[in-house]
C-alpha cells in the first residue's frame, strides 16, 4: 500500500532500569519480572508475543512507567529508545540507567501511497544520500540525538 524513503532514523524499544543497575541484555533476562510500558505504541504487543513469561503492566504513559520504575514497583520500563532517554533525564536525572542498545529496532522513513510521488521519494533519497556522504547527517544526528 505504501512506498517508503530511505530510513531517516532507526529507533525502537529499549529497557530502562533503576540506576546503577545495568541494562538487561534482552527481554529474556526479565523472565518473571515486572516490566511496564505505555498502552500506546507497539511495545506491549511485542513483549506479550515474544516474551510471555514477563509480568507486563501496561501504563497510561511514559511518565507513569518511569514513576513505577523509580519507585520500585517495576523491574524495568520498556520505552522508545530516544523518547525514554529524554523523559527519564528530565524527570529522574541520575536515577535511571540509559540503555546501551534497543531490544527491537524500527527504521522510520517517509511513506507515500504506492505508485504515487515517486519523484518526491527519489529527490528525498538523493538528498539524504548527499548529506550522509558529506557529514551533514552526522552533525545533525549528534546535535539532536548524540554520537
Same domain? For 81 and 124 the reply is no
pLDDT in tens, 2-22: 999 999 888 999 999 999 999
How confident is the prediction for the chain on average, in pLDDT?
Answer: 95
pLDDT for 4: 94
Q: Which residues constitute the domain of residue 139?
A: 2-6+108-144
Same domain? For 31 and 89 the reply is yes
Same domain? For 66 and 41 the reply is yes
Same domain? For 70 and 129 the reply is no
For 21-29, the CB contacts below 8 A with 24+ separation are 21/97, 22/97, 23/97, 23/99, 23/100, 23/101, 24/76, 26/103, 27/51, 27/54, 27/103
pLDDT for 147: 65
Same domain? For 112 and 76 the reply is no
Enter the pTM of the model: 0.82
Q: Which CATH number characterizes residue 38's domain?
A: 3.40.190.10
Same domain? For 44 and 79 the reply is yes
Residue 146 has pLDDT above 80, yes or no: no
pLDDT for 54: 98
On the 0-12 / 13-18 / 19+ scale of CB atoms within 10 A, 23 is middle
pLDDT in tens, 32-65: 999 999 999 899 999 999 999 999 999 999 999 9
Same domain? For 98 and 129 the reply is no
pLDDT in tens, 92-142: 999 999 999 999 999 999 999 999 999 999 999 999 999 999 999 999 988
Q: Which residue has the cell 511495545?
A: 43
pLDDT for 9: 85
Amino acid at each position: 500500500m505504501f512506498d517508503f524513503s530511505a530510513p531517516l532514523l532507526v529507533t525502537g524499544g529499549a529497557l530502562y532500569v533503576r540506576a546503577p543497575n545495568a541494562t538487561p541484555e534482552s527481554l529474556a533476562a526479565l523472565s518473571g519480572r515486572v516490566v511496564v510500558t505505555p498502552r500506546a505504541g507497539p511495545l506491549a504487543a511485542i513483549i506479550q508475543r515474544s516474551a510471555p513469561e514477563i509480568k507486563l503492566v501496561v501504563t497510561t504513559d511514559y511518565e507513569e512507567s518511569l514513576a513505577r520504575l523509580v519507585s520500585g514497583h517495576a523491574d524495568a520500563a520498556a520505552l522508545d529508545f530516544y523518547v525514554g532517554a529524554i523523559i527519564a533525564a528530565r524527570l529522574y536525572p541520575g536515577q535511571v540507567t540509559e540503555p546501551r542498545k534497543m531490544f527491537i529496532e524500527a527504521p522510520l522513513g517517509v511513506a507515500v501511497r504506492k505508485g504515487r510521488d515517486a519523484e518526491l521519494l527519489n529527490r528525498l533519497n538523493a538528498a539524504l544520500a548527499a548529506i550522509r556522504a558529506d557529514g551533514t547527517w552526522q552533525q545533525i544526528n549528534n546535535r539532536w540525538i548524540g554520537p
